[in-house]
Amino acid sequence: MQQARRQSLMSLPELPIILSVEARDDLIEISLYGLASRGEDIANRYAADLQDALRHIARFPGLGRVKEGEAANVRVLRHDQHVIYYEAHSDSIVILRVLHTRMDATHYLDF
């Protein structure tokens, strides 16, 4: 039963992921910081983990909690030391930002 459940979860369709310019820059900065501070192996592992988190959102768009405030369609999902801000649409997932948990998100978010 467990194996059948795992297999069905793995075959769920993924919505296409669209990165905003800011989110793309965030991911680059995260990788560069990790490379400089933790080394190549750890930076690559963390980048792969973040990519897995994005794919997980693409499979389960409702996974993140709805962000309170004016932006009712923005969802938030914490992944390790970062928070992923995204919009789930019927045909795609738009990644808006990927910010460190210590960052003041209101300073970086335009919504």
> Which top CATH class is 13-108?
alpha beta
Helix ranges (DSSP H) in the chain: 2-10, 21-38, 40-59, 105-108
Strands 82-88 and 65-66: unpaired
Give the tens place of pLDDT for each residue, 81-98. 999 999 999 999 999 999
Whole-structure pTM value: 0.82
Please state, in angstroms and rounded to a whole number, the distance separating the CA atoms of residues 92 and 61.
9
- Per-domain boundaries in the chain: 13-108
Is the pLDDT confidence value at 69 over 80? no
Give the tens place of pLDDT for each residue, 1-34. 445 444 445 556 889 999 999 999 999 999 999 9
